[in-house]
Structure 1
Amino acid sequence: MPGTLRGAGPEHTFGPAAGRLMQIGEAADRVGLSIRTIRHYEDAGLVVPSARSEGGFRLYTDLDLDRLAVVKRMKPLGFTLDEMRDLLGVLDALPTASDDERPALLDRLAMFHAVAAARVAALREQLTTAEGFADTLRHQLDQHTGDSH
C-alpha cells in the first residue's frame, strides 16, 4: 500500500514507484559508504531515512540512496556540510519550482557546477604534480639500482 515518507527535502512516496525499503547496512553497501558515515549525514540533516521499521531500524529508498550518492560525490571536492545541504535543497526544489523560482534555482545550480568544475581542475593539476613526483622517484630508484622500467 503506497504512503508518504518524510525525509530531508520534499515528501517522498513509497511503493512500486520508489522501490523497496532497505536497512542501513544494505544502503551503505549499495552506495559505498560506511554505516557510521550515513548516520553522520543523517545527524547533519543531509539524508534522513524515509521510514523506520516497527523495530526502529532506519529504512532507505532508492531516492535516499540518490541523495547519499550526491553527498558522496561532493565530499572529495571539499564542499562543506552547509554547501551540501544547499545543493540538495536546490535539487529538491527544481522539479516543482514555479516559473518565478526557477531562474534563481538554476543560478544556484550553475554556481555549484562552476565550483565543482574548478575544484576538479585543481585536483587534476595536483594529480599531475603527484604523478611527476612519483616518476622522479622511479627515475632515481632506477638510476641507483641499475634497472630501467
Structure 2
Amino acid sequence: MSGEHMQIGEVAARTELSLRTIRHYEETGLVIPSARSQGGFRLYTDADVSRLMVIRRMKPLGFTLEQMRDLLQATDRLDSADALDADEREILMGRIRDYQQAAADQVDKLRVQLARAEEFAADLTTRLRPSGAARP
C-alpha cells in the first residue's frame, strides 16, 4: 500500500487504536496525518501507521508521551535523508539504546506480574473445585 492514503477509520482498524486515541496523538504532535482530503478528512500513509504502532507498543510499557516523542524524534532523525556526523549518530543511537533497555526492564517486570496473576488465577480455580475432587 506504499504511497496510498488511508482514512482514520482504516488506520484505527489496522492499529487497533480508537479514533479518539489517534486524534489525541495528533493533538499532542506525536503523529500528524500526511495529508487531508478535499473534504478535510485526515489521510495517513503506511509510515504514519508504523509510527502509531511504535506508540501503541510503548504505551503499555509505561512510557510517557514525552518519551514517545523523544524516541520518535531520534528515529526520525536517523531515518532522514540528512547526513549525520558520527557524534550526532552515536548520540541518537545511545538514546535508542536507553529506550531499548528501559523496554526490556519493563518487560521483565511485566513477566513477574503475569506469573503472579497466573498463580492467583490457578489458586482460585483450585478453590472452585468440589471439595471431594482430586487436587494436582
Map of 1:5 onto structure 2: none
Between the aligned partners of 2:13 and 2:118, the Cα distance in structure 1 is 31
Map of 2:42 onto structure 1: 58
Between the aligned partners of 2:58 and 2:64, the Cα distance in structure 1 is 9
Q: How many residue pairs end up in the alignment? A: 133
**Candidates 62, 70, 88, aligned match of 1:78:** 62
SS at match of 1:33: coil
1:147–1:52 distance in 2 versus 1, CA, 3 Å: farther
Between the aligned partners of 1:119 and 1:145, the Cα distance in structure 2 is 42
Deviates more, 1:137-146 or 1:61-70: 137-146
Q: Percent identity?
A: 53
Between the aligned partners of 2:13 and 2:79, the Cα distance in structure 1 is 28
Map of 1:136 onto structure 2: 123
Shift of 1:19: 2.1
**Candidates 21, 37, 53, aligned match of 1:69:** 53
Shift of 1:147: 6.8
Letter in 1 for 2:76: D
Q: Please give the TM-score of this superposition, normalised by the length of structure 1.
A: 0.83
SS at match of 1:91: helix
Map of 2:95 onto structure 1: 108
Between the aligned partners of 1:145 and 1:69, the Cα distance in structure 2 is 50
**Candidates 21, 27, 30, aligned match of 1:37:** 21
Map of 1:117 onto structure 2: 104
* Greater percentage in helix: 2
Q: Which segments of 5 or more consecutive residues in structure 1 lack a partner in the other structure?
A: 1-15
Q: Which stretches of structure 1, 4 residues or longer, exceed 6 Å deviation after superposition? A: none
Q: Please give the TM-score of this superposition, normalised by the length of structure 2.
A: 0.91
Shift of 1:143: 4.9
Between the aligned partners of 2:12 and 2:132, the Cα distance in structure 1 is 45
SS at match of 1:59: strand
Q: Which segments of 5 or more consecutive residues in structure 2 lack a partner in the other structure?
A: none
Shift of 1:148: 5.8
Map of 1:26 onto structure 2: 10
1:57–1:138 distance in 2 versus 1, CA, 3 Å: same
